[in-house]
Structure formats: structure tokens, C-alpha cells
A and B are shown apart, each in its own frame.
Chain A
Amino acid sequence: MTGVTVIAEPRPKTRNGTALLIGLAVVLLLSALLGLGIGSSSMTLERLLLAVIGQGAQTDELIIWTLRAPRVLLSGLAGMTLALAGLLLQRATRNPLAAPSVLGITDGAALGAVGFLFLFSNESNSLTVSIYWQPLAAACGAAVFAVLVAVLAKGAARGPVSLILHGFALGKLAQAGVTMLMIVGPVYRANQAATWLAGSVHQARWIDVAIISVLLAAIVPVVLLLARRMDQLLLDDASAEASGLPVMQTQALLLALAVVLTAAAVSFVGAIGFVGLIAPHAARLLLGTRALPVMIGTAFIGAVLVVLADVVVRYLFAPFEVPTGAVTALIGAPYFLYILFRSGRAHA
């Protein structure tokens, strides 16, 4: 070789995760403002901002604070919750197709929630126990179906599609259960239970927002502490184990957290589908593979998705209350088909 000095090429800078996350937070804020401003009586930005800070007209403040704010907040929180659940499932199973709705866990939670209404209603159609037990019932339903999927898919042939098929079949089973309970159950419950089949934020109340906030505040720190483990889990089982990660224990932990998150979201807004699928993929596309930024990004994107889906519902379909879940499915289902198509060569 001749004495050519090789000038080191400047290395491509690693993508600036922090800037992107701030960008996402801004998008979330704008979506929330849009969610607050749009409805049967749309407001100008000025009127909206005045009402938000409590300086607006009384009717504006009433509309914003009693009707729209809980709805927007609940949408955002439920979106975060479902998106995180999806991320945990994708990481735990190393399956790009995994999501709470795809694995039948949302349907399991819905069955738990509806079953609860059915079991604890008396002749006069009122609940014999507090409604606040409902999330627990949803969690039980979600847990039963998550364990069933895990056990059945473990015994069967491996591969991303096998797991999805098991989840799909079990999800159908849970849906059938929900349908039956709705038909044999008290009539007015049927209407309410329909919510869990499609997912909707129509009946958002401040108390719902409060409960889901508390649940998230308890679970999210645990999830964040698992970031390092989730990074290791990107390796195959043997390599992850060899690096010092207790693989099975970590997977079980992630699955359990995903179940709790799914149940929390489903109890309040129902089975809003595909958020848990799309949000982690979008975050990974933007932020790469490191779990911590991806987690935060996933939560933001999930929130944006559901808030915007609800805006679409209110703006395009008013006065009909189209379920929010229908809008997310409109984007999510084709995307799911796309990944399914690619999954032969994809690696979670």
C-alpha cells in the first residue's frame, strides 16, 4: 500500500433522541389542544386558551372542563397505556406482530369487565358492589387470556404467526363470551357493554381520568426500571441468558405488566385496537432500538393516536358517536397486514 493518509470520515451522529422526544411532546400538546377545541361548538384558539386558563366565557369553560377535558385526557392516558402494553408484549415475545388486541388480551379484559357487570348486578339492574372493582375484573380476564395464549403458543410450533393465531382464536372466544353476556344480561347493560367491544371515550368522567392516572403513576416507574432488561431481551434467548439476564423471569414480568396496563385501559375506554401495535413500531422507527427512549416515544405516540382518533370521530362523524376504536383500526389493521406480510424476514 502507498502512504495514503486515510482521513477518518465523520461518523454519522446517532439520532438525537431527546430532540425527537421533545418534538413528540409538542405534537401531543397540539393534539390535546385540537381535541379541546373541536366539537359540536368549535372554538377559536383564543377562546379556547382563555377557557383553559379560566378567563373565558362561562359556557366555554363548562364545555372545556366538564365535557372535553376529561375526554381528551382519558383518550391520551388510555392511548399511552395501550401503547406501552403493546411495547412490553412485543419485547417480551420478540414478535413484531404482538399487541394487546392482537393477542386476545383486550378481549379477555373486556370479558372480565362485562362478566363483572353481569355477575354483580341485582334484579333492579344496579351493581351490588362498587364499580371501582371493575378494573380488577378486567385485569383477571386479561390475565387468564394472556396466560392461555402464552401456554398454548409455547406448546405449539414456534414462529411469529403461530402466536398470533393463538391470540386471534382466543380473542374470538372472549368476544363470543362478551356477546352472550350482553344478550342474556340486563338490557341497559348491553348498551354499556357495547363500549368494550369497540372502544370509546364518550362517557369520560374526571373520576376515570383520576383512576387511570393513579394506575399509570404506579406502573410506569416499574416499566422504566425494566428498560435495561428490555434491551437485553432484544438478543435471542441463549445470548440474553448468557449475558446475565434471567430471561423467563423478565418475560413473565413484562407480560404481567402488559396485562395490568391493558386491563386499566380497557376498563375505562374499552378495546381500542391496534394502538399497542402501531405506537411501538412508530417509536422504533423514529428512535431506534434502545428501550428507554422508545418507551417514552411509544407512550407519546399512543396518546397522540387516540386523541386524534377521537378528534376524527367528533369532527367527521358528529352527531353519530362512532367508536374511537373503529378509527384506530382503520389505520391499524392495514398496517398489521403489512407487517404480517413482511414478518417472514422481520425480526422483533
Chain B
Amino acid sequence: MHDNTLQDHAALEMRDAAAGYGERLVFEGLDLSVARGRVTALCGPNGCGKSTVLRAMRAMLPLRAGAVHLDGDPLENWKPRALARRIAMLSQSPSAPEEMTVVDLVRLGRYAHRRRFGRPGAEDRETVAAALAATSIEDLSDRPIGTLSGGQMQRVWIAMVIAQAAPVILLDEPTNHLDIAHALDTLSLVRKLSHEEGKTVVVVLHDLNLAARFADDIVFVREGKVASAGPVGRVFHAENIEQVFGIHCRVLHDEETDRPFCIPLAAKGG
């Protein structure tokens, strides 16, 4: 059965899925599969539905049709805590009270693992400590989050996601409010998580060159449809990008990183 062969490598799979807000369907008839243990970037112009796809992958948005399968099981079969143990997600603009300390916030990532009552167990404490170490924020652990800079704060949120210890991580524009240094920093960390710990990562990115630099696979989304999808080397070329973003561009190859990059030239018909 083709289901089984897919299950072997796809961590998350959307089949003929449709979802939207109110009257408006953002996507319809969407098929998408996310390869296990790789970094997949969702790219596309504003409003193309990439964030909506991500929300649907985490059952945050009811599907109007089709299904999302996690490890071969439709999402509606997963209970909230069980699902959270398999998928962690960082939304676009997360928030928490300013006086909450870093370690308290990171510990909130353990909710799905902790015993219902009682203090955090040894495993919880170790995982939180490891998450603080992985994001190099041990020194900040007792600081109220209101005193942190944007870049530090992003590390804290990523530490919370790591503390959730889920094999699949979804990130919605994690570099949005960051300058280039912090954006690179964040994405290197994400890449490390995938390559060293085998996490499956899906990340919404609107910066094409960051996607080309850090992702293994790219899914180009346009008007609620998958325009093209596959390994960066195969889909990141001028023709695809011109079609998806409505621009003229040139794609070159950087020898040192062995990665393509895009030079935007002009908007089509502009």
C-alpha cells in the first residue's frame, strides 16, 4: 500500500486539505509531505497561505476537507498533550508576562510531559537545563523576560520549543523581527537541531536566501497551492521563483556553501 511507503519518510503529510477563515478558503486541494529529519522551508509571497498551512499542520485550524497525518495517523486522533509531545510549534508573535523569568517560561514547554500534579521531575529539569544550554541562555535564566533584547527573547522562545522535546518542530517566521545577525544565529540553531538531533523542522520563511542557505527542502506556495517542492538544489531556480513571486531574478551558486542564492531584479509588469 502506498501509505506505508510514504510513512517511512514523511513525518507530516497533508492530503487534499482545505482550510480557511470564515467564508474565505486560504487553501484547497493541498497535498504536501514533510520529510523526516530534514529542514523544510515554506516560502511564498505574503498572503499565499504558508502560515495557514503551518497552523493546519498543528491542528490549530479545523480542516474543511482532506486530512493531515502525523506518523500516519490523522491529527484528529491525537489528544492535545500527546500531539504536543510529537509536535512543538513557535507561533509568529508569542507573548508572556514581562515579569516571568526565563527559566519559568522555558519550563512551560514541559507541560505535555509533566505529571499532572507535583513539582517538575528530574527529566523535566534536565531537559529544561539542556534547552537553556543549547540556546546559550543559561546566564539569563533568572532574568525577567521583559528585560531581554529581541534576539535574546527569540532564543528563549526557541528554548521553550526545545524543552517540549518533540521530534517535529514548526516555526512560523522565526526571523521576522530579528536583524540579520540574530536571524542567522536562529537559523543555524534550527539547522543544528535537525542535523544533530534528527528533528523534523518546518519553517515559514519569506527571505528566499535564508531559505536557500539553511533549508534542505523548499516548498513554494502560491495562492494556496504548492507551486513546487523538493530539495533546495532541485527547486530553487529562477523559473520557479519568478513564477511564485511574480518577479524577474537571477539565481547563482555559491561554491563555498554549495548553496544557490537569488538576486531579485524587478517585479514583473511593474
Contacts and interface: CB of A to CB of B under 8 A. Distances in A.
A244 B84 contact: yes
A243 B109 contact: yes
Contacts of B116: 228
Interface residues of B, number: 35
B118 to A, nearest CB: 10
A14 B116 CA distance: 24
Interface string A233-260: 0111011011111100000000000000
Interface in B58-90: 58, 60, 80-81, 83-85, 87-90
Interface string B94-115: 1111111100100011011010
Interface string B3-47: 000000000000000000000000000000000000000000000
A228 B104 CA distance: 12
Contacts of B141: 11
B111 A243 contact: yes
A55 interface: no
Contacts of A12: 142
Contact of B84 (A11, A235, A236, A242): A242
B108 A235 contact: yes
B89 A242 contact: yes
Nearest to A229: B111
B91 interface: yes
A231 interface: yes
Chain A at the B interface: mostly helix, strand, loop or mixed? Answer: loop
Nearest to A348: B97
A225 interface: yes
Nearest to A235: B96
B164 interface: yes
Contacts of B94: 235-236, 238-239
B58 to A, nearest CB: 6
A231 B92 CA distance: 21
Nearest to A224: B117
A238 B91 contact: yes
Given A235-B94, A244-B81, A225 B60 contact: no
A261 to B, nearest CB: 22
Given A236-B93, A288-B99, A244 B108 contact: no
Contact of A347 (B55, B95, B112): B95
A228 B97 contact: no
Nearest to B113: A244
Interface string B166-179: 00000000000000
Contacts of A228: 111, 114, 116-117
A244 B91 contact: no
A348 B100 CA distance: 11
A236 B114 contact: no
Contacts of A11: 141-142
B91 A243 contact: no
Contact of A236 (B58, B91, B101): B91
Nearest to A8: B139
Interface of A: 11-12, 14, 225, 228, 231-232, 234-236, 238-239, 241-246, 284, 288-290, 347-348
Given A232-B108, A347-B97, 11 more contacts: A232-B111, A236-B94, A236-B95, A239-B90, A239-B160, A242-B88, A243-B108, A244-B81, A244-B84, A288-B99, A347-B98
Report the 4 A-B pairs with minimum CB-CB distance, sorted nearest first.
A244-B84, A244-B112, A238-B91, A242-B89
